[in-house]
Amino acid sequence: MPLAWGTMDLDQVFQEMGRIADRLAALPDEAFTERLELRQRQEQLRVTASDLSAQAPVDRHALQAELEHLLGRWDALQKERIDVVAQSGGGSQGGDAFSGAHAVRVNLQIDAARGRDQIESRIAEIRRLLESKPKT
């Protein structure tokens, strides 16, 4: 049950966004109308989250700690990835079954499974916040 706009805090907005994401994932392919309504609500919540985030004071220490954690996760993800150059023979034209192209595909799967795009997006957002907001 959605809360009134004026009474929602950021945590509540994110919780509702999570519930909507779960409902969207559970919908059958042919549920076009419900999917549209949920997507519209999702967009409204994104705007609300953005507005609430802009008004909230920045806890620089918490952001810095989160950034360090995410950078550690990003480094760990990099170590899981396949070295494409080494895998493809260091630039040779060999016909190995496990080619550089296959290594690239595997890396994309690793990235998707580990949330690389989300990690990179959050790192960029934290850096933007740390650079743009005065200390509080």
* Domain range enclosing 28: 1-56
Say if residue 63 is in the same domain as residue 51. no
pLDDT at residue 100 greater than cutoff 60: yes
Total Cβ atoms within 10 A of residue 2: 13
pLDDT digit string, tens, across residues 23-79? 988 888 899 999 999 999 999 998 888 888 777 777 888 889 999 999 999 999 999
Q: Is the pTM of this model over 0.75?
A: no
Say if residue 32 is in the same domain as residue 63. no
Say if residue 69 is in the same domain as residue 136. yes
How confident is the model at residue 93, as a pLDDT?
53
Say if residue 79 is in the same domain as residue 107. yes
> Tokens 């220490």 correspond to what residue?
61
Total domains, the chain: 2
How confident is the model at residue 114, as a pLDDT?
86
SS3 of residue 30 by DSSP: coil
